[in-house]
């Protein structure tokens, strides 16, 4: 069996690591990686392939940054060319990025069956590019690997046949388990100059938070306030660095927050485990925090990972000018997530996914 897997953005490199590991033990399956080039900086891409021991992509489409239409269009053309040559039995896409949608659409039009990992998530915010990508991808996929029972229910509510939907849990949980064994806490603490359970780990990168100057400023002013109480370590996405520099705000915040370049997945998991609190707008980090036992303040208006809010492990804080935003973040330090049952499976999603793909013959493609 030949599988082509299309990836392009940082979280997708992480999510395919458990699949690669399982497939090492299954020589009858040939996995071929297509990197769209959506993320291209060394620290956003190559570092992850090294860190997670991923095989070199057979193809890199080098699409780079541009508008959504241009980026997605270039990916569509590139992926179609690859699929015409490779003629795989399955196309796997992960998550909700432009690379996800382009990969799924190119394959579907060529009648190559599409499997979507991380299906059924919804923010119900139609203005969010990821929401458009995930809805469209789900509705053209032949097999949908959902992360939880509520994701399964959502897909069925939208009219997708339950025969195509499998609750396999969250593959990110597998990925965290994979790297946790190899972490050397003391080395990471020294490298980033942090003390165990005495700092806040933050990431901000979503366009809704970075592209609106007022909202960006609100978030960073709150972080400044928070940094009077705890050191704030901030591995910054290039989009956010650019936005702060454009707004001539970078130096103001750089003085008081520990702003650093993006870090590897292994270091990020170590930092998650050591942090007293995670503050983020990232989808992935909301769950990594949970898997590493840290409470998490989510700086967004809504989240796809509602279960963690309902369980009281994570708290949603909508960015606003209100000065209470810093207070709300500081209060989150006291939330706990110990002894909470994982709503996203048992950390063995990758095995389940491969078993299902090997056995779904007869399912409508």
Report the alpha-carbon distance of residue 349 to residue 94 in Å, rounded. Answer: 13
Write down the least CB distance from residue 45 to ligand UD1, Å: 6
When CB distances to ligand UD1 are compared, the closest residue is 97
- Helix, strand, coil share of the chain (percent; to 5): 45, 15, 40
Greatest distance between any 2 Cα atoms in the chain: 60
259 forms beta bridges with 234
Side-chain half-sphere CA neighbours of 11 within 13 A: 24
Nearest-approach distance from CB 136 to ligand UD1, in angstroms: 12
In angstroms, what is the minimal distance from the CB of 110 to ligand UD1?
22
Shorter beta-carbon distance to ligand UD1: residue 231 or 238: 238
**223's tokens:** 């972080």
Locate all alpha helices (DSSP H) within 44-96, ordered by sequence.
46-51, 68-86
CA 52-86-96 angle, 5° bins? 50
- Geometric angle at alpha carbon 91, from 165 and 268, rounded to 5°: 85
96 vs 164, beta carbon nearer ligand UD1:
96
d(CA 223, CA 170): 30
Nearer to ligand UD1, 102 or 226 (CB): 102
Residue 238: partners with Cβ closer than 8 Å, 6 or more residues away: 41, 44, 262
In the complex, what is the shortest distance from the CB of residue 9 to ligand UD1, in angstroms, rounded to a whole number? Answer: 4
Cβ 85 to ligand UD1 shortest distance, Å: 25
Cα R_g (the chain), whole angstroms: 20
Report in angstroms the alpha-carbon separations of 90 from 3, 15, 56, 238, 328.
Answer: 5, 17, 19, 33, 46
| CA dihedral of 82, 83, 85, 88, whole degrees rounded to 10 | 130
Least distance (Å) between residue 30 CB and ligand UD1: 27
Options 35, 39, 116, 205, the catalytic residue: 205
Asked if 348 is an active-site residue, the reply is no
Q: How far is the CB of 60 from ligand UD1 (least distance, A)?
A: 13
Q: Which residues pair with 151 in a beta bridge?
A: none
The whole-angstrom separation of Cα 289 and Cα 172 is 11
The tally of CA atoms less than 13 A away on the side-chain side of residue 119 is 33
| SS3 of residue 352 by DSSP | helix
Q: Given the complex with ligand UD1, which of 124 and 181 has the nearer CB atom?
A: 124
Q: Where does this chain bind ligand UD1 (CB under 6 A)?
A: 9-11, 38-41, 44, 65, 96-98, 129-130, 205, 237-239, 242
How deeply is 30 buried, as exposed, middle or buried, from its count of CB atoms within 10 A (0-12, 13-18, 19+)? Answer: middle
Indicate the residue among 38 and 227 with the shorter CB distance to ligand UD1.
38
Which residues are designated catalytic? 205
């Amino acid at each position: 069996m030949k599988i082509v897997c299309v990836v392009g953005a940082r979280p997708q490199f992480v999510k395919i690591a458990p699949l690669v590991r399982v497939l090492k033990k299954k020589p009858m399956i040939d996995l071929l990686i297509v990197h769209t080039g959506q993320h291209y900086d060394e620290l956003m891409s190559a570092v992850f392939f090294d860190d997670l021991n991923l095989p070199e992509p057979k193809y890199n489409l080098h699409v780079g940054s541009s508008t959504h239409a241009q980026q997605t269009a270039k990916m569509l053309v590139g992926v179609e060319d690859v699929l015409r040559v490779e003629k795989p039995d399955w196309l796997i896409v992960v998550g909700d990025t432009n690379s996800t949608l382009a990969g799924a659409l190119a394959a579907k039009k060529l009648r190559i069956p599409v499997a979507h990992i991380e299906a059924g998530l919804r923010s119900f915010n139609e203005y969010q590019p990821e929401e458009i990508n995930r809805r469209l991808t789900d509705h053209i996929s032949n097999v949908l690997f959902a992360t939880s029972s509520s994701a399964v229910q959502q897909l069925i509510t939208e009219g997708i046949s339950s025969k195509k939907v499998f609750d396999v849990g969250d593959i990110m949980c597998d990925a965290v388990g994979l790297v946790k064994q190899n972490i050397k806490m003391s080395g990471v603490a020294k490298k980033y100059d942090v003390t165990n359970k005495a700092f806040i780990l933050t990431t901000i990168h979503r366009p809704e938070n970075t592209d609106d100057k007022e909202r960006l400023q609100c978030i960073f002013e709150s972080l400044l306030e928070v940094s009077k109480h705890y050191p704030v370590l901030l591995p910054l996405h290039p989009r956010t660095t650019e936005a702060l520099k454009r707004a001539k705000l970078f130096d103001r915040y750089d003085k008081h927050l520990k702003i650093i370049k993006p870090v590897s997945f292994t270091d990020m998991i170590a930092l998650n485990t050591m942090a007293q609190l995670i503050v983020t707008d990232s989808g992935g980090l909301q769950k990594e925090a949970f898997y590493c036992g840290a409470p998490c303040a989510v700086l967004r208006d809504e989240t796809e990972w509602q279960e963690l809010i309902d369980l009281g492990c994570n708290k949603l804080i909508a960015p606003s000018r209100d000065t209470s935003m810093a207070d709300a973040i500081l209060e989150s330090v006291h939330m706990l997530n110990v002894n909470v049952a994982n709503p996203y499976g048992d950390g063995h999603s990758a095995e389940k996914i491969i078993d299902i793909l090997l056995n779904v013959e007869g399912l409508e493609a």
